[in-house]
Amino acid sequence: MGFFTPHHLALIFGLLGNIVSFLVFLAPVPTFYTIYKKKTAEGYQSIPYIVALSSAMMLLYYGILKTNATLIITINIIGCVIEVTYLIIYIIYAPKKGKVFTVKMILLFNIGGYGLIMLFLNLLTKGHKRTTTMGWICAAYNLAVFAAPLSIMRHVIRTKSVEHMPFFLSFFLVLCATMWFFYGLFVKDPFIALPNVLGFLFGIAQMILYMVYKNAKKDVESEENLQKGDIELNLSSVENVMHGK
């Protein structure tokens, strides 16, 4: 390792992960600027941001339970603030149906679901067991979220169009998964490292698909059938990697 100890390497990869994660947290800003300019969120979905907020909240609690997890705590505090801001803007400009749905989902997942997890952990676990249990919950949740890119990848194969799978998203998925994998590796935290192996593989698969289909003739009819929510959910999966999953 030369002059770099595992502690130094963990710090380096953790800082790089925080920097890249913060930049990607800002990726939806153009979307919400458009919503603000048009004064409507019609056609957009809030689920990706609810999912991202849930993930950040759980990883934040996991970071608090661990010792010496400042880098996990900081990026997830930032993530919570940014995702809450996005959701507030969405609720302000969404149609009535969208407002009601979003509030219900926040109450169900971000308050109810998170509250149940906290209650379960505090009543039935303590010490290292509590940290380990929360780690398993976070890992399982984020592995499920990684299924989101599958719909986009399937769409690319079906339509031969990469319009809704920008190369930079796939690139950052690989980059951030790499940063957080090595961070988890050097701090010996499998709950951080292992989910990012899947994130890395999905990112590589998306980049390969992009190279294969970037010049292909697209299926216009199928292209028009893709919902904005599918595209946003793909971005959400990238954001989840940014949290240090």
Q: Specify the pTM.
A: 0.84
* Token couple for 25: 């947290």
Tell me the C-alpha distance between 46 and 11, whole Å. Answer: 34
The three-point CA angle 205-211-216 to 5° equals 120
In this structure, are residues 9 and 1 in contact, taking their beta carbons and an 8 Å threshold?
yes
Q: Which helix (H) or strand (E) holds 40?
A: none
User: In whole angstroms, how large is the CA radius of gyration of the chain?
Assistant: 18
How do residues 80-129 score in pLDDT, each as one tens digit?
999 999 999 999 999 999 999 999 999 999 999 999 999 999 999 999 99
* Neighbour-count burial for 113-124, b at 16+ CB within 10 Å, e otherwise: eeeebeeebeee
How do residues 27-67 score in pLDDT, each as one tens digit?
889 889 999 999 999 888 898 899 899 999 999 999 999 98
Mean pLDDT value of segment 207-213: 89
Window from 89-103, 143-157, 159-173 with minimum mean pLDDT: 143-157
* Token couple for 45: 């979905």
Tell me the C-alpha distance between 12 and 8, whole Å. Answer: 6
In percent, the amount of the chain with pLDDT more than 70 equals 85
* Token couple for 163: 């319009």
Within 10 angstroms of residue 51's Cβ, the number of other Cβ atoms is 24
